[in-house]
Amino acid sequence: MKGHKLLTTVAIAFFAFLFTSSVFAAENNGNIKALIDKIKGKDEAARLQASDELVKIGKPAVAPLVAILKNEDENISMSVIGTLVKIGEPSVPPLMEALKSSNSFVRTGAVSALGKIGDKKAVDPIIPLINDRDSTVRAFAVEALGELRDPKAVKPLIEAVQDRQTRQQAFNSLVKIGKPATDSLIVVLSDDNENVKELAISALGKIKDPKAVEPLAKFLNNGDENLKKAAILAIANIGTQASVKHLAKFVEEKKDVELRNEIITALSKSKTTESAKALIKVFRNPDDTLCLEVVKHIADCGKAAVPALTEGLKDKEERMRFFCALSMGGINDPSVIQPLLKSLADVKPAVRVAVIKALENRGDKKTVESLKKLLTDKDENVRKAAQSAIDKIGQ
């Protein structure tokens, strides 16, 4: 008898649950329909509020949202995509199915949402859309593959660079995938299309894979100035030790100031003796403003620049010795002191003043006795500079 009562109680509870669930589902469906209507409306505030509510509902709201991706109103489409992206993983299977739709607006919205959600399960279904008959779908498919960053997309994206309408986006997506795309991009450097080659060069510079330096260097002696400039900038951006020997050849570039500045910055970042040697060449340039800018960059090389600057202090050209002395003043390392002290005897007053200023910047009290000897120098500017340095170091 007790068992019979228990079964009856369980049955009643079960049917009550079914009834409650069906009522809840009906109410939920009603809510979803009302919220979808708001999404399709013109009131932006109401659309945003409806989107938030649909995100809370989650999976049950996905299918109704996917169904209105066909709407041609851009604001509505963006709202639907944004909502599906916030719902996240539950949106993925219906969106992948929507990629097969005959409606291009649906395919575009679905591929856009999948790229933003970031689930790599979507990579294989998206790849065929690179060849979609609709150019907008193709563009969004290429962009989505970049967002998903899966190496298996490299080959189809390389093919997409031949499509003028998706070319730039294809290269952008390859950059997002990064080093797995390097080998394929190096192959593209041999493409017959100059624009394709230039974009491939730029992409390799952004990826910064050291293995690309030598293939890029082949363009440095190229007759095409655009390809040459693109290669220099790419090599500068990669910024490895291998980059230095190639960039050093162009550090005295006179025609393109922007390009020269890029090279100078790249060389200073490498912080090697070789890069310092290349930068010092600029001191032969008659442009004092440029030379002073390079002084700052050589300081970034730090101790590695000292051997090259020490050699520069012995150069036969006064301006070379002058700017090398100034450069040493910006390097915070004790190894600069002895070369500077030796150069206090330079035959040119301007160089002696530069050396004094460099020692003043270093502030080493051990240099004061050497500076005192210049208080009787035959040149007034040297005497004044020596006194100023002694006063400052002694404080």
Cα first-last separation, the chain: 104
Q: How confident is the model at residue 8 (pLDDT cuts 50, 70, 90)?
A: low
pLDDT at 377: 95
The DSSP element (H or E) to which 307 belongs, if any, is: helix 306-312
Q: How confident is the model at residue 253 (pLDDT cuts 50, 70, 90)?
A: low
pLDDT at 300: 84
Q: How confident is the model at residue 244 (pLDDT cuts 50, 70, 90)?
A: confident
pLDDT at 13: 45
pLDDT surpasses 70 at 303:
yes
Of the candidate ranges 180-184, 234-238, 367-371, the one whose mean pLDDT is the lowest = 234-238
Q: Could you tell me the fold of the domain covering 272-395?
A: Leucine-rich Repeat Variant (1.25.10)
Q: How confident is the model at residue 254 (pLDDT cuts 50, 70, 90)?
A: low
pLDDT digits (tens, 9 = 90+) for 30-67: 588 888 888 888 888 888 888 888 889 889 988 988 88
pLDDT at 32: 85
Nearest to residue 358, comparing CAs of 312, 391, 323, 319? 323
Sketch the domain layout of the chain as residue ranges: 178-270, 272-395
The angle at the Cα of 227, spanning 226 to 232, to the nearest 5 degrees, equals 100
pLDDT digits (tens, 9 = 90+) for 19-29: 343 333 444 55
Of the candidate ranges 51-60, 111-120, 252-261, the one whose mean pLDDT is the lowest = 252-261
Sequence-separated (6 or more) residues with CB below 8 Å from residue 64: 32, 33, 36
Q: Which residue has the higher pLDDT, 70 or 195?
A: 195
pLDDT at 367: 94
Biggest alpha carbon–alpha carbon distance for the chain: 125
The DSSP element (H or E) to which 125 belongs, if any, is: helix 123-126
Distances (CA, A) of 41 to 47, 49, 50, 76, 299: 7, 12, 10, 8, 61
Q: Which residue has the higher pLDDT, 242 or 141?
A: 141
pLDDT surpasses 50 at 18:
no
Q: Could you tell me the fold of the domain covering 178-270?
A: Leucine-rich Repeat Variant (1.25.10)
Q: What is the pTM (predicted TM-score) of this model?
A: 0.76
Kindly state the tokens that stand for 72.
């041609």
Q: Which residue has the higher pLDDT, 247 or 323?
A: 323
pLDDT digits (tens, 9 = 90+) for 337-386: 999 999 999 999 999 999 999 999 999 999 999 999 999 999 999 999 99
Q: Do domains 178-270 and 272-395 have the same CATH topology?
A: yes
Maximum mean pLDDT: which of 176-185, 232-241, 274-283: 176-185
Of the candidate ranges 29-43, 141-155, 303-317, the one whose mean pLDDT is the lowest = 29-43
pLDDT digits (tens, 9 = 90+) for 259-281: 888 888 888 887 888 888 889 98
pLDDT surpasses 60 at 318:
yes
Whether the Cβ atoms of residue 113 and residue 84 lie closer than 8 Å to each other:
yes
